[in-house]
Amino acid sequence: MIRTSHVGSFPLSYSEDNIRRVLRDLKRIGLDVPTYPQLRSFIDIYLKPLESLGIVYSRRGIYFSSKKNFEKAPPEVVIEDAEKTIEIVRSEGLSFKWLRGPVTGAFTLSSRIYLSEDVSKGLQSTVLADKDIVKDFFTIFVGNMVNRLSSLGYNIVFVDEPALTFIVGRRILYGWTEEEIIEVLSKVSKSATTSEVGIHICGHLNPKILEIVSRVDKIKYLSLEFFATPSNIDLIDKSLLDKYDKIVSPGIVAASKPSVESVDEAYTTLLKVYERSGGRVDLVSGDCGFGGLRGSLGDEEKEYAISIDKLKTVVEAVRRLESRTRL
**Host domain of residue 236:** 16-326
104 lies in a domain?
yes
- Domain count within the chain: 1
Task: Please give the torsion angle defined by the CA atoms of residues 249, 128, 208 and 230, in that order, rounded to the nearest 10 degrees.
Answer: 50
d(CA 6, CA 288) in angstroms, rounded, equals 8
Whether residue 14 contacts residue 40, with contact meaning beta carbons closer than 8 Å, is answered with yes
d(CA 257, CA 122) in angstroms, rounded, equals 28
9 lies in a domain?
no
d(CA 232, CA 291) in angstroms, rounded, equals 22
- Asked if residue 173 has pLDDT above 70, the reply is yes
DSSP per-residue codes, 224-258: EE-SS-GGGGGG--HHHHHHHT-EEEEE-S-SS-S
pLDDT band at 264 (very low <50, low <70, confident <90, very high): very high
> What's the rounded mean pLDDT across residues 21-37?
98
Query: 0.85 cut: is pTM over it?
Result: yes
pLDDT in tens, 135-170: 999 999 999 999 999 999 999 999 999 999 999 988
d(CA 162, CA 106) in angstroms, rounded, equals 11
5 lies in a domain?
no
Whether residue 311 contacts residue 64, with contact meaning beta carbons closer than 8 Å, is answered with no
> What's the rounded mean pLDDT across residues 65-81?
93
Cβ-proximal residues to 46 (8 Å cutoff; 6+ apart), any chain: 77, 79, 103, 104, 109, 142, 145
pLDDT in tens, 85-134: 999 999 999 989 999 999 999 999 999 999 998 888 899 999 999 999 99
313 lies in a domain?
yes
Percent of the chain with pLDDT over 90: 93
- 139-152 and 178-189 helices cross at what angle (nearest 10)? 30
Cα 184 from chain centre: 16
Whether residue 288 contacts residue 5, with contact meaning beta carbons closer than 8 Å, is answered with no
Cα 128 from chain centre: 18
87 lies in a domain?
yes
Please name the amino acid found at residue 191: S
4 lies in a domain?
no
142 lies in a domain?
yes
Strands of 40-142, DSSP E: 57-59, 62-64, 100-104, 113-114
Burial (CB < 10 A; 0-12, 13-18, 19+), residue 271, is middle
Residue-level pLDDT at 327: 55
283 lies in a domain?
yes
User: What's 169's domain CATH number?
Assistant: 3.20.20.210
pLDDT in tens, 204-220: 999 999 999 999 999 99
Cβ-proximal residues to 279 (8 Å cutoff; 6+ apart), any chain: 325
Residue 290: name the closest of 258, 268, 316 by CA.
258
